[in-house]
Each structure stands twice: as C-alpha cells, then as structure tokens.
Amino acid sequence: MSSIKIYYTSVSGSREVKQRQEEVTRILDIYKIKYELIDISVSLKVLQEMRMKVSTPKALPPQIFNGQEYCGDFEMFHKAKENKEILKFLKME
C-alpha cells in the first residue's frame, strides 16, 4: 500500500505554483491514486521539514513523496507524465 504525500501550499501568490499543484492532484485523481496533502503554509516548521527532506534549501511546492521516500518535484512529475511513467515515478511499480 502506497502512502503518497504531497507538500503543497494553500496560500500562494504564485499562479505557477497553484497551477502546478492542481496539475499534480488532477493527474493523481485520474489515476485514482490516494494521497495526503501536507500544507507548508501552516507553519515554518513544515516548510523547513519539506526542504530538509528534498535537500534543497529553496525548494517550492509541490514536492512528492511515497512514504518517506522522495519521488520528485513538479518538473520530474511532469516528465514522468509525458513519458507515461507516473506509477514508476511514484515508486508504485
């Protein structure tokens, strides 16, 4: 059983970030993949946790995990979608 987690923000002044987050959740919904959203805007601690897990001090949402294992960011997700490798990207196969 997978445990897909998406670090996202419910508060963003960036249209690009919002669109990217919506794209990720839309694709996961199409694949009927359950996921948990973790809102980095609730506290600085959650934002720092996300950035520590991805080892990038300026990482922006969305960042995608399967459990504790890092899958990638939006660019990597988009590439996997284009190559029809979403399940591989999510480490589900």
Q: Provide the number of structural domains found in the chain.
A: 1
Residue 13's pLDDT is 87
State which amino acid sits at residue 29: D
Q: Please report how the helices 15-30 and 74-82 are oriented relative to each other, as an axis angle in degrees rounded to 10.
A: 40
Residue 93 counted as domain residue: no
pTM, entire model: 0.94
In this predicted model, what pLDDT tens digit does every residue of 46-84 receive, in sequence order? 999 999 999 999 999 999 999 999 999 999 999 999 999
Q: Which domain holds residue 17?
A: 2-88
At 12, the pLDDT band (50, 70, 90 cuts) reads confident
In this predicted model, what pLDDT tens digit does every residue of 77-91 receive, in sequence order? 999 999 999 999 999
Question: Domain of 29: which CATH number?
Answer: 3.40.30.10
Q: Where are the beta strands (DSSP E) in the chain?
A: 4-8, 35-39, 63-66, 69-73
Average pLDDT of the chain is: 95
Cα 1 from chain centroid (whole Å): 18
Residue 79's pLDDT is 98
